[in-house]
Structure 1
Amino acid sequence: MDSTFMTATAHTNIALIKYWGKKNAFLNLPTTSSLSLTLDRFYTTTSVSPSETSTDTFVLNEQVCDATRVHTFLKILRTQLGDFPPLHVSSDNHVPTSAGLASSASAFAALTGEVVAYLGLDLPKETLSRLARRGSGSASRSFFGHFAVWHEGVDDDSSFAESLHAPDMPIALIVAEVSGQSKKVGSSEGMMRAMTSPNYDDWVKQSANQFDDMTAAVANADIEKIGAIAENNALAMHALNLTATRQPFTYFTDETQLILSLIKDMRRQGILAYATLDAGPNVKIVTTKAQAPEIVAALHDYLPQLKLDVAVSGPGITYD
């Protein structure tokens, strides 16, 4: 064991090209490749130490929590890295949990990085991304700062994330937190239902084309095109939920719909503003650093109580 690294901090990411469906649930292999922006505003810091009991234990934000999901993931790491004794995992999560802000991305990336460091192993980030993918697919992208891609792959080795080399750009993301409550339909369940939509195969094909278009837009630092592609990809993803043949559903609330309408109004006024949404009611708005304050002010005019955060491009995993 190596105590050199005491904590690992990983930031969450927002998928601009979404992951919404698994072709192999056991390995967490997605049906599509995805592309994301890491955010500075939301992160998880995790430390591990020997457990004082005979099993893994978990404390989240200073509260003892059910360690089932953590223990299940640590069992996977033991099969991949070699057996190690029970661990006590302590995390501080600075992301609203289960509200569509990918809290599991930063959580499992930080946990993976911290365990690997604790064991004294020196593994490349691509390998870490493969390991973290087994706990949360989106966690694979949180090892990398700025923009990252997660390749869907065909097996465990070929499904990994890596940094997407991109120029600096003044991109900003406004998070409108419609609800901080847990989702009624969890992400895994939502994906399974969405895959029953008659439109699902077409969405997968469309997403592959959008992935290529987004990669080009990022390379060109074209924030308006990045936003337009992200909005189309996200809204098409959420449309799958409504057209599922098994228990159709939606994450949208009336407030979600109002914010989406206000974003369209802003664009008609010449403001660069595009929406993207993960599994939840919260709306993320792609814009520029310069225009973000204007958008925040406009939203507060209509929804004074709406919680808004402005995030910019964030770093990859760090250790202290």
Structure 2
Amino acid sequence: MSTTATAHTNIAFIKYWGKKDPILNLPTTSSLSLTLDQFYTQTTVTTHAQADQLILNDIPVDTTRTHQFLNILREQLGNFGPLTVTSTNHVPTSAGLASSASAFAALTGAVTRELKLTIPNEALSRLARRGSGSASRSFYGHFAMWHEGVDDMSSFAESLHAPDMPIALVVAEVSADVKKVSSSEGMRRAVTSPNYGDWLRKSNAQFVDMQAAVMAADIEKIGSLAEDNALSMHALNLTAQQQPFTYFTSETQQILKIVQGLRQQGFLAFATIDAGPNVKIITTLTTAPYVVAALHDMLPQLHIETATSGSGITYD
């Protein structure tokens, strides 16, 4: 028996960067994201295996993290036998493009369907959060919110039910290499920044402002808030008292300057960056080709894709 689920990545416009409970994966802030059509994970779970195993992009890989997460699902859903997990990632892994979000959302959905359980997305988001916090948002299409909560039940994601809008994300892939500082390690260091408390307060206010901007379909306001939130987050990494670091490369910095230049020319373009060097540029469908052209003009070897709003989890 087998079940297949497909979940798309999401890019947070208001970031999650820090944990107040690493066991339950409770974040220090609420977050808000856009699900992307271009990047996704398709996962099939098959029963009657000898032991839990993970086959990623046709290659058997280390199963430790998957096995630990499946054991959490066994605790929550009732014990079930070993599974073969076969995943195809249509997104670079561990490069700051939210591959873990789509991966753990797809895995959670596939396991629950294989067990013949009918579980609403809100409850699925709580389960997937234990594997990857951002996975909680990948059950929903378009815009989603993850509420930080104070315990397991109150930390969940839901759809924002936002209006349609011509938003686009130009994804500038600086590197597909596995990042040297994992997201979990990066968060552990960032919370030691003396500016972390100020960032939390600012992010909480921006979370409220972003909801209003999304519901008003104000892409310029969405982009402005997202860029400020992201750059403020990355500033924490540089000011960490324990092992300061940065995910930025020289190309990351160059892309940020190109985006700023586009704005000065009157184009709607704002940058957001997750835990990695890759830059996502928030713009409109009509402006996206101009953004791509400007990037290619300055960085002709850069790999660029344009993504739009994507759907929530689906099952085959």
Taking structure 1 as the reference length, the TM-score comes to 0.98
Residue type of the partner of 1:88?
T
2:285 is aligned to: 289
2:203 corresponding residue in structure 1 = 207
Which residue number in structure 2 is paired with residue 109 of structure 1? 105
- 1:38-49 counterparts in 2 under 5 A? 38-49=35-46
Indicate conservation of the 8 Å contact 2:6/2:40, yes or no: yes
What's the counterpart of residue 124 of structure 1? 120
Maintained 8 Å contact 1:151/1:161: yes
Which runs of 5 or more residues in structure 1 are unaligned?
A: none
**How far apart, CA to CA, are the structure 2 residues paired with 1:78 and 1:10?**
21
**Contact 1:51–1:57 (CA<8 Å) still a contact in 2?**
no
> How big is the shift at 1:252?
0.3
Is residue 2:24 matched to residue 1:27?
yes
Q: What SS does the corresponding residue of 1:284 show, helix, strand or coil?
A: strand
After superposition, residues 81-230 of structure 1 pair within 5 angstroms as 81-230=77-226
CA deviation string 1:279-298 (max 9, x = no partner): 00000000000000011011
Give the whole-Å Cα distance in 1 for the aligned partners of 2:3 and 2:149: 33
Structure 1 segments, 4+ long, off by >4 Å, are none
Distance 1:35 1:82 in 2: 31
- Cα deviation, 1:235-291, whole Å, max 9, x if unaligned, reads 000000000000000000000000000100000000000000000000000000000
CA distance in 2 between counterparts of 1:206 and 1:58 reads 40
Size of the aligned set, in residue pairs, is 316
Q: Secondary structure at the match of 1:128?
A: helix
Instruction: Report the counterpart of residue 6 of structure 2 in structure 1.
Output: 9
Q: Secondary structure at the match of 1:159?
A: coil
Q: Is the 8 A contact 2:3 2:111 kept in 1?
A: no
Q: How far did residue 211 of structure 1 move?
A: 0.3
Distance 2:147 2:77 in 1: 22
Alpha-carbon RMSD across the aligned residues, in angstroms, is: 0.7
Alignment of 1:64-83 (within 5 A): 64-83=60-79
User: Equivalents in 1 of 2:191, 2:156: separation in Å?
Assistant: 22
CA-CA distance at 1:52 after TM superposition:
3.0
For 1:143 and 1:82, the matched residues in 2 are separated by: 22
CA deviation vs aligned residue, 1:22-58 (integer Å, no higher than 9, x gap): 00000000000000000000000001112431x2011
- Residue 6 of structure 1 aligns to a residue whose secondary structure is strand
Identity rate of aligned residues, in percent?
71
After TM superposition, the score normalised by the length of structure 2 is: 0.99
Aligned equivalents of 1:124, 1:165: Cα separation in 2: 16
Q: Which runs of 5+ in 2 are unaligned?
A: none
Which residue type is aligned with residue 53 of structure 2? T
Within the alignment, does 1:316 sit opposite 2:312 as a pair? Answer: yes
Quick check: 2:259–2:269 contact (8 Å CA) kept in 1? Answer: yes
CA contact (8 A) 2:8 2:37 kept: yes
Give the AA of the match of 1:261. K
